[in-house]
Amino acid sequence: MDESGFTRFFDPGQWLQPSRGPRYEQLARHIGAAIRNAALAAGTQLPPEREIAALADVSRVTVRKAIARLVDEGLVEQRRGSGSYVRDLGGEQKLEHMLSTLTSFTDYMRRRGIEPDSRVLSAGLFAPDPTEMVALGLGAGDTVARVRRLRTADGTPMAIEASSLPSDILPRPEEVGTSLYEVLGRYGRAPVRAMQRINACSIDDPDATLMGLPVGSAVLKIDRTGYLQSGRPIEFTTGLYRGDIYDFVAELRLEHRRR
């Protein structure tokens, strides 16, 4: 991108919207999206901080925070003394999903400048099956809310998620559209901790067709149980995630054992 390209690219009209969160986040999303769709090619040097601040009409602190976010996300690298460069993401641009942080699909995609959406495949209140009873600590007389959704990112199917929650936590499953956690958050009932079990499996129809994948494609099956602060399990979600898009990353630390 040349100088006039950057002038247009950083113009606030291109990226700033009043209700879409802090400026540094919006700026990071704008730059991040351009890196992912290769509008900003690998190896491109970003203009110096003060120049971006002037073009984008924000403070240098805002630019610094946006760049720090992009560095965290692995999209930009800072070379000592010479500035910030777009990193080479390799041929296939997998989304790195940190396993140690509890995020919703919606947050995770929005943070990367990708627009999440959901198509609700089914939703309703049911008697719990044995798996739900065990996972959510329910009895046969209780009721569960079930929501099954096709999750898309910028219109591309990424996952099929089937979520079950006790009906006192989600009395109206039809309220869930794009984000389950947003609905739970509204009532102060979003999980604060979760356990996940990940398996590799292959996908059959009708799910394969819904995901736009050939029958038999490899997908990741992830079961998540989400808990409230009190320790009560309130979400059991089984999801099938496109193996070619998601790249789950776990940070491991050496455990210091006491002798």
152 lines the binding site for ligand 16G (CB under 6 A)? no
32 lines the binding site for ligand 16G (CB under 6 A)? no
How many chain residues bind ligand 16G (CB under 6 A)?
A: 14
23 lines the binding site for ligand 16G (CB under 6 A)? no
Of all helices (H) and strands (E), which one includes residue 150?
Answer: strand 144-153
237 lines the binding site for ligand 16G (CB under 6 A)? yes
Q: Cβ of residue 2: shortest distance to ligand 16G, in angstroms?
A: 38
Nearer residue to ligand 16G within complex by CB, 30 or 110: 110
Q: 26-52 as b/e, with b when 16 or more CB fall inside 10 Å? A: bbbbbbbbbbbeeebeeebebbebeeb
Q: Which residue has the tokens 């000592």?
A: 80
Q: Cβ of residue 171: shortest distance to ligand 16G, in angstroms?
A: 17
The total number of residues written for the chain in this structure: 259
Contacts of 198 by beta carbon, 8 Å cutoff, 6+ apart? 220, 221, 222, 248
Q: Cβ of residue 159: shortest distance to ligand 16G, in angstroms?
A: 7
- Residues in 158-187 that interact with ligand 16G by CB under 6 A: 161, 163, 179-182
Q: What's phi and psi for 160, nearest 5 deg?
A: -120, 120
Give the integer Cα–Cα distance in Å for 233 and 239. 17
- Residues in 82-121 that interact with ligand 16G by CB under 6 A: 104-106
Q: Cβ of residue 232: shortest distance to ligand 16G, in angstroms?
A: 16
Nearer residue to ligand 16G within complex by CB, 26 or 237: 237
Tokens of 99: 């396993």
Q: Cβ of residue 31: shortest distance to ligand 16G, in angstroms?
A: 23
Alpha-helical runs (H) found in 99-244:
105-111, 130-136, 180-186, 207-211
Binding site for ligand 16G (CB under 6 A): 104-106, 161, 163, 179-182, 196, 222, 224, 237, 239
